[in-house]
Amino acid sequence: MTNSLTNDANGSPAQAGDAVIEVRDVHYSIGGRKIFDGLDIAARRGRITAFMGPSGTGKTTLLRLITGQSQAQSGSVKAWGQEVARMSGKELFALRRRMGMLFQNGALLTDEDVYENVAFPLRAHARLPESLVRQLVLTKLQAVGLRGAARLLPAELSGGMARRVALARAIVMDPELLIYDEPFVGLDPISMGVICRLIKQLNDALGITSIVVSHDVHELSLIADDSFLLSGGKVVAQGTPAELHESDLAEVHQFMGGLADGPVAFHYPAPELAQDLLEGEA
C-alpha cells in the first residue's frame, strides 16, 4: 500500500527533469529474502530527501543501489538520468566523483590523521600544489568546526568528531550530491544537533542535493524537505515531515510515534510462547 502525500499531477513522486536520483519499480532480494518489491523513490535537485523506515527495511541497501555498489534484479536506478547498473567501472567512478558519502561509522583511514583523511580525495584525483591542498582542507575543516583537530588521529576523536571529519572529507571535492547513511546513530544530543545543522547549512550554502537515510524522526523532521517512509520493500508514505506526522496511515502512525504495536511487527515470527515453553518441558 503506497500513500503518496505529495504526488504531482502525473502521480509521479517527483518531476522527472528535477530528479537527481530516480528509483523506479526496483525489485531486490538477498538470499531469498525480498528487500524491495517495486520500490519507487526520487531525490530532487537542491533538496534534502530523507529515507526513513524501521531497521532492516533496506535503507542502506538502497544507498548501495544508488551508488552502484549493488545491482537490482529488476527495475531502474538512475543518477542524473543515467542508468547506474549499465555503467562501466570507469563511468561508475566518474559518477561517484559527483557524489560525497558519509558512512555510519565515518570510515576514516585509521593510519592517517584528520588532515590527511580530508586531503585524501584531493591527492588521489588531482595534482595540486601543497599550499592549495592545505587551503582546501583547512577551509573544509573550518566548516565542520575541526580545524584545530587537523593533526589528531581518528582514534583520538569522539564519535561526533569522526562523523564531522568524514563530512569534511565528503565535501572536499565539492560534490553535487551528498549521501548520509545514518548520520545520527550513537551521537549525544549536542553532536546530533551539530550534525543536523551542518547537513542543512551545507545543503543550502553549497546548493547541493542531499539524501539522508535514518530512523531518527525528530532530527529528520527539522531538516528534510521530502521524506519517504519505507516498509515491507515499498514506500508506504511520502511527503514533507509535517505531512507524515499528520498521516492517519497505520504504518506511518506507528513509525512516527515510535509505537511497538502496529503493522510493523515487534516480534520476529515464532510459535506461541506457551507452546515453546511446554515443548521445552516435554
Nearest Cα to 23, choosing from 31, 58, 32?
58
Cα(138)–Cα(132) distance, rounded to whole angstroms? 10
Per-residue x/- mask for another protein, residues 118 to 137, rule CB under 8 A?
--xx--xx------------
Pick the piece of the chain touching another protein (CB under 8 A) from 79-87, 117-125, 205-213, 244-252. 117-125
Say how many CA atoms lie within 13 Å of 190 toward its Cβ: 4
Pick the piece of the chain touching another protein (CB under 8 A) from 34-42, 106-114, 228-236, 264-272. 106-114
With binding defined as CB under 8 A, does residue 155 bind another protein? Answer: no
Q: Which strand ranges, in their side-by-side order, compose the sheet holding 48-52?
A: 3-4, 234-239, 226-231, 48-52, 209-213, 177-181, 99-102
Nearest Cα to 200, choosing from 228, 173, 221?
221
Grid cell of 33 as nine digits: 529474502
Site for another protein in 32-91 (CB under 8 A): 67, 69
Tell the smallest beta-carbon distance from residue 252 to another protein (Å). Answer: 31
Tell the smallest beta-carbon distance from residue 247 to another protein (Å). Answer: 33
With binding defined as CB under 8 A, does residue 107 bind another protein? Answer: yes
Cα(172)–Cα(138) distance, rounded to whole angstroms? 10
Per CB under 8 A, residues contacting another protein are: 67, 69, 93-94, 96-97, 99, 101, 103-105, 107-110, 120-121, 124-125, 169, 173
